[in-house]
């Protein structure tokens, strides 16, 4: 898939080329910056931290960079592409975030204790069955998304009791510093920061300095998912 952007008077036309068709997604100056702000919020980051994660200048998305001398300034196509890649968000999903109408989709919601029970997930580690509670997620629903309700204080100060974490089990790329949820074959479910993932080992940093870091052999891990969004 090729991605690009073309500035057109009052808006920016993002497009996605997919073999035989081209989908054009015209967005205004306000919409595209709103999309970046909402994407950062989904990742539990500030716009500056989102830029840093995409290996951009941390000031790239600052308010001062959006308007200069009374004229609108736009993020570059390269910057947008990098941000979408590190966020695991498609162009169409970004367009929905950026649009004036907020898009919400229900995702399955359960507690960490439930997540440790075999009956709640299929052989691929995806939510299965019916009768789940649901959480409204600001984005398009897709396979592999579910939400976990935080209980206790083991994840302070990052996450507090009652917070909801939307987890992407379909994520295929992970980077050092990603916040992840891991379920072991023993049924333990942990939310940690990724230190290193190799073909044989998974190293995790505790979000709470009072709790120890953890290391697992890959063969001990049932599944891993990236924390995509937090609702406080």
**pLDDT confidence band for 57 (50 / 70 / 90):** very high
| pLDDT at position 219 | 96
Mean pLDDT for all residues in the chain = 77
Average pLDDT over residues 28-43: 84
The predicted pLDDT at position 122 comes to 52
Which residue(s) pair with 220 in the sheet?
none
CA distance 225 to 180: 6
Is pLDDT above 80 for 75?
A: yes
pLDDT, tens digit (0-9, with 9 covering 90-100), for 114-173: 565 554 455 455 555 444 687 777 666 667 788 888 887 888 888 888 888 888 888 878
Task: For domain 105-231, give its CATH number from 3.40.50.2300, 3.90.1200.10, 2.10.109.10, 3.40.50.170.
Answer: 2.10.109.10
Averaged over 58-69, what is the pLDDT? 86
Helical pair 77-87 and 29-42, crossing angle rounded to 10 deg: 30
CA distance 37 to 23: 23
DSSP-H helix ranges across the chain? 29-42, 47-53, 77-87, 91-98, 112-115
How high is the pLDDT of residue 8? Answer: 39
Per-residue pLDDT, 54: 92
Measure CA of the first residue to CA of the last residue in the chain; give whole Å.
Answer: 35
In the chain, domain spans: 2-98, 105-231
Which of 58-62, 63-67, 113-117 reaches the highest mean pLDDT? 58-62
Q: Buried b vs exposed e over 56-73: b needs ≥16 C-beta within 10 Å?
A: beeebbeeebbeeeeeee
Bridge partners of residue 164, in order along the sequence: 149, 231
Question: Superfamily for 2-98?
Answer: lambda repressor-like DNA-binding domains (1.10.260.40)
**Whole-number pLDDT of residue 232:** 66
CB atoms < 10 A from the CB of 127, how many?
A: 20
Nearest-angstrom CA–CA distance, 109 and 166: 9
pLDDT of residue 177: 87
């Amino acid at each position: 898939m090729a991605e690009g952007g073309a500035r057109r008077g009052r808006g920016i036309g993002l497009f996605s080329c997919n073999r035989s068709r081209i989908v054009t997604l015209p967005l205004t100056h306000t919409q595209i910056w709103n999309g970046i702000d909402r994407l950062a919020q989904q990742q539990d980051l500030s716009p500056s931290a989102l830029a840093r994660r995409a290996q951009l200048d941390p000031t790239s998305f600052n308010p001062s960079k959006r308007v200069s001398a009374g004229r609108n300034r736009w993020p570059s196509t390269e910057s947008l592409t990098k941000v979408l890649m590190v966020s695991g968000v498609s162009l169409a999903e970004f367009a929905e975030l950026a649009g004036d109408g907020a898009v919400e989709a229900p995702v399955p919601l359960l507690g960490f204790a439930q997540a440790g029970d075999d009956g709640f997930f299929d052989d691929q580690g995806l939510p299965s069955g019916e009768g789940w509670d649901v959480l409204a997620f600001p984005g398009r629903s897709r396979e592999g998304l579910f939400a976990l309700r935080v209980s206790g204080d083991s994840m302070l100060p990052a996450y507090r009791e009652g917070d909801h974490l939307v987890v992407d089990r379909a994520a295929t790329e992970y980077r050092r510093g990603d916040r992840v949820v891991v379920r072991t074959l023993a049924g333990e479910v942990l939310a940690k920061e990724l230190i290193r993932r190799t073909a044989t080992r998974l190293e995790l940093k505790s979000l709470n300095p009072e709790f120890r870091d953890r290391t697992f052999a890959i063969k001990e891990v049932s599944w891993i998912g990236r924390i995509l969004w937090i609702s406080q």
